[in-house]
Chains A and B, each alone.
Chain A
Amino acid sequence: NAGVMQNPRHLVRRRGQEARLRCSPMKGHSHVYWYRQLPEEGLKFMVYLQKENIIDESGMPKERFSAEFPKEGPSILRIQQVVRGDSAAYFCASSPMTGNTEAFFGQGTRLTVV
């Protein structure tokens, strides 16, 4: 039973380019959460999605960031026109249901903007 799969593990982008981060949840999990960890900080919630729906995007920056979880395929976190401050580790977590159950995390994508 494969865990949460994120790819790529490392991503380097020049300022102004687009970054696409992918997350395949564990089998049977329909709830996906994205978190960002800036250097020397804890993980910050970004967005919570179920299949084809954004449930809570209260942690997403207002501009340049978007997320989707289509009916088929992985969840995508998209960052347009990246800036140096977007450099961070982005983690995806999945759970089988909402509410009080532990979420399982992927290995993360480390985005470096040069």
Chain B
Amino acid sequence: DQQVKQNSPSLSVQEGRISILNCDYTNSMFDYFLWYKKYPAEGPTFLISISSIKDKNEDGRFTVFLNKSAKHLSLHIVPSQPGDSAVYFCAGSGNTGKLIFGQGTTLQVKP
């Protein structure tokens, strides 16, 4: 049972343009959503999160949007930079802090 899904395995964008990474979920009990970034051979690094009672959270170049009725969230990166090239995971969290991850989307930002 895949509670969190990232349906796009990869995304390629040009430097300076917007990157939009999408995530769908089925579990209505999640009350917190998080995005992590991961480089090869390293652990995931926390990027940004959003409470289920919010619909938007912004931090610098990163903005996360939550559409509860559609059970969909997205991460916007603008402007995209070559250093943003990595695998991005979205995750849902309940009251224990346990994270349920999507499969990840590999973002490539071309100079």
In the complex the two chains form, is B43's CB within 8 Å of A107's CB?
yes
Give the contact stretch, choosing among A60-68, A76-84, A97-105: A97-105
A17→B28 CA distance, assembly (Å): 41
Closest 10 CB pairs between A and B? A105-B43, A100-B32, A102-B46, A42-B103, A42-B101, A43-B101, A105-B44, A107-B43, A98-B97, A108-B43
| Contacts A97-B97, A100-B49, A100-B97 known; 20 new A-B pairs at CB < 8 A | A4-B43, A6-B43, A31-B97, A33-B99, A42-B6, A42-B89, A42-B102, A45-B98, A45-B99, A45-B100, A45-B101, A56-B96, A91-B43, A98-B95, A100-B32, A102-B46, A103-B99, A105-B36, A108-B43, A110-B41
What residues make up the interface of B, taking CB atoms closer than 8 Å to A?
6, 31-32, 34, 36, 41-46, 49, 51, 89, 93, 95-104
In the complex the two chains form, is A48's CB within 8 Å of B97's CB?
yes
- Scan A44-68; emit 1 where CB is below 8 A from any B CB, else 0: 1100100000011000000000000
A56→B96 CA distance, assembly (Å): 9
Chain B neighbourhood of A48, CB < 8 A: 96-98
Tell me the count of chain A residues lying within 8 A, CB to CB, of chain B: 29
Chain B neighbourhood of A87, CB < 8 A: none
A11→B85 CA distance, assembly (Å): 28
A95→B95 CA distance, assembly (Å): 13
Closest residue on chain B to residue A94 by CB atoms: B97
A33→B46 CA distance, assembly (Å): 15
Closest residue on chain B to residue A10 by CB atoms: B41
In this assembly, does A25 line the interface, its C-beta being within 8 Å of a C-beta of chain B?
Answer: no
Chain A neighbourhood of B93, CB < 8 A: 100
Chain A neighbourhood of B49, CB < 8 A: 100, 102
A33→B43 CA distance, assembly (Å): 13
